Amino acid sequence: MNIINLTPHSIVIISESGTRTIPASGSVARAKTIREQIDCIDGIPVFRTVFGEVEGLPEPAEGTIYIVSSLAAQGAKHRNDLYVTDDPVRDDEGRIIGCRALGKI
């Protein structure tokens, strides 16, 4: 299976059999964002963010899966080849250092 990481950082998968790092591919799939001001409370602007079409997503390829952000996966639910990181692993200070699995949205 060919695994392509379409996030801006390496993905570290931690399992009982060891650690596997999937480097960033250099391409990033991103959901378009549109911010619109919907209110103003005591002089503080309130915005709504709407996520749209996913940019930077290659066409499906036989034997290939893509790791993307949750927002990108949600924006392309019609795709069966998109995965997100799942079951995060944290260090002693609470920072995410990897994950134990991949997930589907």
pLDDT at position 86: 97
Measure the CA–CA gap between 45 and 36, rounded to whole angstroms. 10
Neighbours of 99 (CB within 10 A): 19
Phi, psi of 29 (to 5 degrees): -90, 125
Ranges in the chain, pLDDT < 70 = none
Segment 65-74, tens digit of pLDDT: 999 999 999 9
Copy the structure tokens of residue 5.
């990481």
**Phi/psi zone of residue 56: left (φ > 0), alpha (ψ -120 to 50 degrees), beta?**
left
Is beta strand 44-55 parallel, antiparallel or unpaired with respect to 30-41?
antiparallel
* Domain range list for the chain: 2-103
pLDDT at position 52: 86
pLDDT at position 70: 95
pLDDT at position 32: 92
pLDDT at position 10: 97
